[in-house]
Amino acid sequence: MKINLLLFTISVIAMSLLSCNKSSEKATEKMPTKDEFLASSKKNSQSKAGMFIKEPEIKNTINSNEKIIDANKEKLPNLTTQLAEEATIDTPELLSEGGPKIQFENTVWDFGKIQQGESVNHIFKFINIGNEPLIISDAKAACGCTVPERPTEPILPGEEGEIKVQFNSAGKDGRQNKTVTITTNCEPNTTKLRVVGTILK
């Protein structure tokens, strides 16, 4: 009986020692060598460094975009000025093509030869060849011997009008050259009409 108990105890101790040896071997297998540990540490360091390489690149991209935005801001005032100048250049051309425009059949009336004291009359005919109503605001002669009469109503585009002129030769002698100035809303705004002739005594 005592021999069997002793054998059992020895068997248990042997199994325990065998189990400890196996655990130790497994632990030894899992333990990395010094070279393996250094290689693994270096690899992890490079991996972590790679994660932060992109940060400077992102900053460079942001700085580059900011430079592009600043350059465009500098060009914007110049572009605005250029567009304003082009609009200013085109405006007078557009205005000159529109508005009223007066065109006379003739601007000189030669009444020929008349006796002193006679009065003669003439009608200067015109047409509005513009595209807006023509307004004659004034008709004035340089001498009291010549009396013009103007229309008071606007002359529509394509319509005709008349300037009536009476010349009184009383107290006049010889060659005559009188001027009648017509003021309108055209450009230019004045037109000169002439009355010429000879007065005999």
Pairing of strands 119-128, 136-141: unpaired
**Would you state the structure tokens that stand for residue 125, as one six-digit string?**
């005919």
Q: What was the pLDDT predicted at 94?
A: 36
Q: What was the pLDDT predicted at 201?
A: 85
Distance of CA 133 to the CA centre of its chain: 32
Minimal CA–CA distance to 193: which of 109, 110, 136?
109
**Would you state the structure tokens that stand for residue 110, as one six-digit string?**
């030669």
Q: What was the pLDDT predicted at 13?
A: 72
| Mean model confidence pLDDT for the chain | 77
Distance of CA 39 to the CA centre of its chain: 66
CA 32 – CA 37 distance, rounded (Å): 6
Q: What was the pLDDT predicted at 122?
A: 97
Full-model pTM:
0.52
Residue 75 has a CB neighbour count (10 Å cut-off) of 9
**Would you state the structure tokens that stand for residue 111, as one six-digit string?**
């009444």
Which of 98 and 13 is assigned the larger pLDDT? 98
Domain boundary assignment for the chain: 45-97, 102-200
pLDDT band at 172 (very low <50, low <70, confident <90, very high): very high
pLDDT digits (tens, 9 = 90+) for 125-164: 999 999 999 999 999 998 999 999 999 999 999 999 999 9
136, exposed or middle or buried, with CB in 10 Å at 0-12, 13-18, 19+? buried
Residue 195 has a CB neighbour count (10 Å cut-off) of 24
CA 147 – CA 105 distance, rounded (Å): 20
- Residues 102-200, CATH architecture: Sandwich (2.60)
102, 187 Cβ separation under 8 angstroms: no
Tell me the Cα Rg of the chain.
Answer: 57
pLDDT band at 7 (very low <50, low <70, confident <90, very high): low
Q: What was the pLDDT predicted at 52?
A: 46
